Structure 1
Amino acid sequence: MNSRYYQALIDVIEGFKLWRLAFSLGWFDIKLRYKGSALGPLWITSTSAAMIATMGIIYSSLFKMDLHEYLPFIALSTVLWQHGISTTLSDGCQCFLQANDTIHSIKLPFFLQALRTITRNAIILSFNLVIPAIVFYVFNIHPGWNALLSIPGFALWLVDGLAICLLLGCICARYRDIPQIINSFIQVIFYVTPIIWLPSQLKHHITYLVYNPLYPIIDVVRAPLLGQTLDLRVWAYAIGYSIIIWIAAGYVFIRARGRLAFWI
């Protein structure tokens, strides 16, 4: 067996064994970030709530959309985007760079830092899911048992998030300009992904949405929570894109793992 491949595999296995430590470190990151704050992560929740309410009212008027249909959609979409997709991409870039002191001080699996990042983001996402829950309650929206279909979607998100942390974490540790490029990419892709506009607005061009990798990945979670029936083709594309991400992440991590400590 290739030595680099074997060492990378052992790193991942040992990282999974330390999942309790990863959870503790992720929770400690949140406490440290909001040290001295009375509301803590709820500051992000309150800010997101104000932004969603403003955007919902304004864009529903601009797009001539029924507020009862549009506000729940944009509330859920914005939270999933900001605290799921966007945060994972940006924090993935800093996955190893932010942990440079720990990496240089203690011998721990590099994969532990990916688990730590995803744990932190998952906790913050759970705080902010309160916003669409409140909107759903106000507008009397009940997705029913269909909402359970979002659980596999969230599981796919966790798997993809770990791959993104390994992929972007390694690349950005070597090339420090990449985080700025990724942040610019996030701003651009936000407008071509149905977050503030409905997929149905594309009418007969909606079939082309699956070629945007972020659309199927976000819709496997969003559609069930909105009580919508998800096209199996969307799931197929989401899984396909996830496989590509993991292949790329595995290749980069295997090649870069031995030099990560020197790059950061």
Structure 2
Amino acid sequence: MASSSTASSSTTAPGSAAATAPAAPPGVKPPGPDFRSAFRDLARGWGQRELWLQLGWQDIRQRYRRSVLGPIWITISMAVTAIALGILYSALFGLDLATLLPHVLVGMIVWTFIAGCISEGSEVFVANSGLITHLPAPISIHVYRLVWRQTLFFAHNLIVYGVMLLVFPQPLWWTDLSIFLAFALLVVNGMWVALLVGIVSTRFRDLPPVIQSVVQLLFFLTPIVWMYDVLLANPAVAERARWVEVNPLFHFVELVRRPMLGQDQEWRTWFIVSGIAVVGWALTLLVMRRYRGRVAYWV
């Protein structure tokens, strides 16, 4: 009897494993990396939108703090670049400036948003390492802040678009109001891209310069300063030109540019971009599920 009581007391000793690690109740999963935690991170980050909205606006004000024109420099830089490229490539391809310049300008506006989400997304967590290590907050806050900042840049560049409509009027219709839905879909894709490349680039620090170089290469492979329809009309290069549609950034740009120029929309583009959003978010949630908690140790 003594030995049995001794054995019983030894199994319930305060320092024993049974006392320190009680069994979880039936039906309750122990804490750990799962999809629920990934969704919770996104939801908590969205709930703190007053924080990242203010931080995103502060980023722009800080960048042009001692400037006389302030954020208007964003618009001036966009206008000068688009006009210079429009004049250059209209002379090279023998195209009417009134046709090519709106194409280039709107393409540059959309491309700036896309390139910003990719390039700055690769460094979004490294650039905010101080906040991540000292402020217990969801990592999605930094991505929301990045996408919001790029949205503000996009809004500033729309001033150039408004001036363009006065100089080169476009055949806009009420159906072109789908631009708001198209841009919302572009934002959804920009968020998963920034999250994915941000987490991977935080682990592998050699990726950001590689990503930035690839983005620069994709600029010339995407019909920003040249027109895809013109190549299709040329029988000599029409077959090879169709390979442009393999580039997903082509569909992102066309999704927003076509309604802004009053052109007929292609439902194929909507389906492709929506499909990319679904696949991209599925992959991003999988990466967040496994590596979200390690970002604070990698920065």
Q: TM-score under structure 2 normalisation?
A: 0.84
- Is 2:88 the partner of 1:53? no
- SS, match of residue 195 in structure 1: coil
2:249 corresponding residue in structure 1: 214
User: How far apart are residue 244 of structure 1 and its match?
Assistant: 2.1
1:174 corresponding residue in structure 2: 203
Once superposed, which parts of structure 1, at least 4 consecutive aligned residues long, lie more than 3 Å away? 204-209
User: How far apart are residue 100 of structure 1 and its match?
Assistant: 0.9
Please say if residues 124 and 143 of structure 2, whose CA atoms lie closer than 8 Å, have aligned partners that are also in contact: yes
Query: For residues 244 and 178 of structure 1, what CA distance do their matches in structure 2 show?
Result: 22
Q: Which amino acid aligns with 2:58?
A: F
- Is 2:109 the partner of 1:79? yes
Query: For residues 47 and 74 of structure 2, what CA distance do their matches in structure 1 show?
Result: 31
- Is 2:147 the partner of 1:102? no
1:13 corresponding residue in structure 2: 43
Query: For residues 178 and 74 of structure 1, what CA distance do their matches in structure 2 show?
Result: 29
1:91 corresponding residue in structure 2: 120
2:220 corresponding residue in structure 1: 191
1:44 corresponding residue in structure 2: 74
1:120 corresponding residue in structure 2: 149
- Is 2:93 the partner of 1:63? yes
Please say if residues 210 and 237 of structure 1, whose CA atoms lie closer than 8 Å, have aligned partners that are also in contact: no
Query: For residues 194 and 108 of structure 2, what CA distance do their matches in structure 1 show?
Result: 21
2:63 corresponding residue in structure 1: 33
Please say if residues 136 and 142 of structure 1, whose CA atoms lie closer than 8 Å, have aligned partners that are also in contact: no
Unaligned stretches of 5+ residues in structure 2: 1-28, 233-237
1:236 corresponding residue in structure 2: 271
- Is 2:183 the partner of 1:154? yes
Please say if residues 146 and 225 of structure 1, whose CA atoms lie closer than 8 Å, have aligned partners that are also in contact: no
Query: For residues 233 and 62 of structure 1, what CA distance do their matches in structure 2 show?
Result: 31
Deviations 1:16-42 (A, max 9, x none): 111121111111111112211111221
Which is further off, 85-94 or 204-213?
204-213
Query: For residues 55 and 191 of structure 1, what CA distance do their matches in structure 2 show?
Result: 12
Identity in percent: 32
Please say if residues 52 and 78 of structure 1, whose CA atoms lie closer than 8 Å, have aligned partners that are also in contact: yes
User: How far apart are residue 187 of structure 1 and its match?
Assistant: 1.1
User: How far apart are residue 125 of structure 1 and its match?
Assistant: 1.1
Query: For residues 172 and 154 of structure 1, what CA distance do their matches in structure 2 show?
Result: 26
User: How far apart are residue 207 of structure 1 and its match?
Assistant: 4.5
Query: For residues 276 and 244 of structure 2, what CA distance do their matches in structure 1 show?
Result: 13
Please say if residues 116 and 150 of structure 2, whose CA atoms lie closer than 8 Å, have aligned partners that are also in contact: yes
1:251 corresponding residue in structure 2: 286
Please say if residues 221 and 244 of structure 2, whose CA atoms lie closer than 8 Å, have aligned partners that are also in contact: no
Unaligned stretches of 5+ residues in structure 1: none
User: How far apart are residue 121 of structure 1 and its match?
Assistant: 0.8
- SS, match of residue 45 in structure 2: helix
Query: For residues 199 and 143 of structure 1, what CA distance do their matches in structure 2 show?
Result: 21
User: How far apart are residue 190 of structure 1 and its match?
Assistant: 0.9
Query: For residues 116 and 51 of structure 1, what CA distance do their matches in structure 2 show?
Result: 26
Deviations 1:139-160 (A, max 9, x none): 1224221321111111111111
Query: For residues 195 and 251 of structure 2, what CA distance do their matches in structure 1 show?
Result: 21
Query: For residues 221 and 230 of structure 2, what CA distance do their matches in structure 1 show?
Result: 12
Deviations 1:87-119 (A, max 9, x none): 111111111111111111111111111101111
Query: For residues 140 and 158 of structure 1, what CA distance do their matches in structure 2 show?
Result: 27
Tell me the matched-pair count: 263
Please say if residues 194 and 215 of structure 1, whose CA atoms lie closer than 8 Å, have aligned partners that are also in contact: yes
Please say if residues 122 and 197 of structure 2, whose CA atoms lie closer than 8 Å, have aligned partners that are also in contact: yes
User: How far apart are residue 208 of structure 1 and its match?
Assistant: 3.8
Deviations 1:157-210 (A, max 9, x none): 111111011101101111111010101101111111110011112214455433
